[in-house]
Amino acid sequence: MQLRTQRLTVRPFRADDLGDLFEIFGDAETMRNCEPAYDLEKTRDFLEKFCIGRNGALAAELTDTRKVIGYILFNALEAGVYEIGWFFNRGYWRQGYAYESCAAVLQFAFGEMHLHKVMAEAIDAEKSVRLMEKLGMRREGIQRSHTRDNDGNWVDLYRYGLLESDWENARC
């Protein structure tokens, strides 16, 4: 799969994306709502085994410079149901790249793959929830004090989903 948007190419990860992916996963602020920042070796292992080996994620690459600025989780949970998620290089936040790339992935998911559902979850009640809603996803629940954040505090987990029928109705 390779998708093009106005500014991005969304494509499978390659081994030579390690440096750009480490800029994302090695940044503590970027990883604040997920897990502690990765070191280079953990990033390499994750890239090789999950991103490439399992084809579980996509790279969001600036078309002009070919720099990977985003990681997009796009992983099958079961037949017809995928999970989507995202991490973007902090130097590119608040410029619409996450929305642009994830909207393209959803277009492909429903328009080409004919998936039944795409779901997402986050502990970030602000930025991530706003993006999920902007993408047309609907809140399916909040699991109260369900998981711990990087500081060890119990936090809520927000779950969102988008059905193929929701996506089709939004296009009309």
Q: What is the pLDDT of residue 126?
A: 86
User: CA 53 → CA 50, 60, 79, 98, 142, distances in Å?
Assistant: 5, 18, 19, 24, 32
Q: What is the pLDDT of residue 172?
A: 54
The residues facing 161 across adjacent strands are 119, 138
Q: Which of 133, 138, 156 is nearest to 146 (CA)?
A: 156
20-50 tens-digit pLDDT:
999 999 999 999 998 999 999 999 999 999 9
Confirm if 105 and 72 have CB atoms less than 8 A apart. Answer: yes
Q: How many domains does the chain have?
A: 1
- For the chain, list residues with pLDDT below 50: none
Amino acid at 162: L
Q: What is the pLDDT of residue 1?
A: 85
Domain that holds residue 12: 3-171
The residues facing 29 across adjacent strands are none
CATH number, residue 162: 3.40.630.30
Q: What is the pLDDT of residue 125?
A: 85
φ/ψ of residue 113, rounded to 5: -85, -20
For 159, left (φ over 0), alpha (ψ -120 to 50), or beta? beta
Q: What is the pLDDT of residue 133?
A: 95
Q: What is the pLDDT of residue 171?
A: 67
Query: Any long-range contacts for 70-77 (C-beta under 8 Å, 24+ apart)?
Result: 70/8, 70/24, 70/97, 70/98, 70/101, 71/21, 71/24, 71/25, 72/10, 72/101, 72/102, 72/105, 74/105, 74/109, 77/119
Q: What is the pLDDT of residue 50?
A: 97
